[in-house]
Amino acid sequence: SGGRPAQEVAEGIASGAIDVRWPQGADLEEARSLAEAAARSAVERIAEASVAREGVIRRVGEAPRPWLYLIVATGNIHEDIPQAQAAARNGADVIAVIRSTGQSLLDYVPYGATTDGFAGTFATQENFRLMRAALDDVGADVGRYIRLTNYASGLCMPEIAAMAAMERLDMMLNDCMYGIMFRDINMQRTFIDQHFSRMVHALAGIVINTGEDNYLTTADAVEAAHTVLASQFLNERFALSAGLERANMGLGHAFEIDPTLEDQILLELAHAQLIRECFPEAPLKYMPPTKHMTGNIFQGFLYDGMFNLVGALTGQDIILLGMMTEGIHTPFLSDRDLALENARYVFGGASGLAGELHFQEGGTVERRAAQVLEECRQMLRKVSEIGMFAAIEAGMFADTVRTREGGKGLDGVIRHASEYLNPITESLSVRLGVRV
């Protein structure tokens, strides 16, 4: 390539203008040197994201926790922006732009600003850039840093992770188990992709969000509570191996117990408090009720209020606001405003209770937490005995069975040749002090 920029070379290969061949002898050494130099430059750019974020936070101010998390996604990035800015002005601390339906199954990343998403907006580097700039503007107006979230899970985890780092996103859904269980992505492919993408997130200071809340959409929230906790412990281990700090592990869980069940709130308290105590350094992401929302907006508003109360009492860090119109239609601006009002009231009035109330020793909450913890321990022992892939094949997560040779993307898993060279991975692993 004669030392040309990587982007130019990639475009040349894609168009057929550049003929690819494996270099030999002196050409190989020159190619290695040029690749390593390009990798060092790219890794430095990723690292700059964390420094830049801290600089903006010092300038405009940090949002107090818990961070109120709202979803925006019209399909048109130019319509998303004013909605996101309005949400921030009304109290949202984190804006998540949901991807267009099915993007996780695309084995490429769309390009440019997009206006044609379905039930979400395409994740592209230009869309990231536009929304980041818009949230920086409104953050300066309201006096607090507004965080931007998107979604890496799927067939393009590494690519979207890199785009997120370059455009200074702050959180990313990054959990290959979600892709395996709910998008039928091949487990070999996505575990490999997850490790690389989490190294990128680690260096960029991006908080990952994991998807354990999704388990409770297919499994019973009481019977499967231990699988959520087990997955969180596994996700913590995977994240540590990729160089992520615990302070950037937004482990997910959800308020999804059937509200007709006796002592539902007590059980939700037990589960949320157990997770809080198991991961004291993690910025836990708490998901609102969706599975049992019936379309009764008055009941739904109360249900979301109880979710907020449990979040306040157990010190959850990232609160994804529930919509009283869940399951009826895409939220109106007024629905989001009411959700913010609900959360502000509950967290403003009840957060101090967390340090005042204590659970009865040997009481129902403590016994339930101990039961879930023991079931989790037994499950993790079984996983250690048979291996992660076999555990997934046995349907131990989300009551869903997947096979190691099945799913989408296996054709992208190729054994390394003896001459294989990946200076980006090597540079990231050295920088983070982790194994490739």
Which residue in the block uniquely carries the two structure tokens 């009551």? 399
**Which positions ≥6 away from 242 have C-beta within 8 Å?**
194, 195, 198, 199, 201, 202, 432, 434
**Is the previous residue joined to 259 through a cis bond, with omega within 30 degrees of 0?**
no
CA gap 338, 317 in Å, rounded: 20
The dihedral built from the CA positions of residue 184, 186, 192 and 197, taken in this order, carries a sign that is negative
Choosing from 170, 175, 193, 213, the catalytic residue is 213
Which residue in the block uniquely carries the two structure tokens 């894609």? 14
Angle at 237 between CA 107 and CA 418, to 5 degrees: 55
**Three-class SS of residue 95?**
strand
Which residue in the block uniquely carries the two structure tokens 């690292």? 47
Q: How far is CA 375 from CA 77, 177, 369, 379, 381, in A?
A: 44, 20, 10, 6, 10
Catalytic, 178? Answer: yes
Catalytic, 285? Answer: yes
CA gap 176, 185 in Å, rounded: 8
Distance between start and end Cα atoms, the chain: 27
* Gyration radius of the chain over CA positions: 22
CA gap 303, 298 in Å, rounded: 9
CA dihedral 291, 295, 297, 301 (to 10 degrees): 0
DSSP 8-state code for residue 103: G
Closest CA to 420 of 145, 22, 53: 22
CA gap 404, 409 in Å, rounded: 11
Choosing from 145, 151, 178, 215, the catalytic residue is 178
Choosing from 215, 285, 304, 335, the catalytic residue is 285
Kindly list the catalytic residues. 178, 213, 285
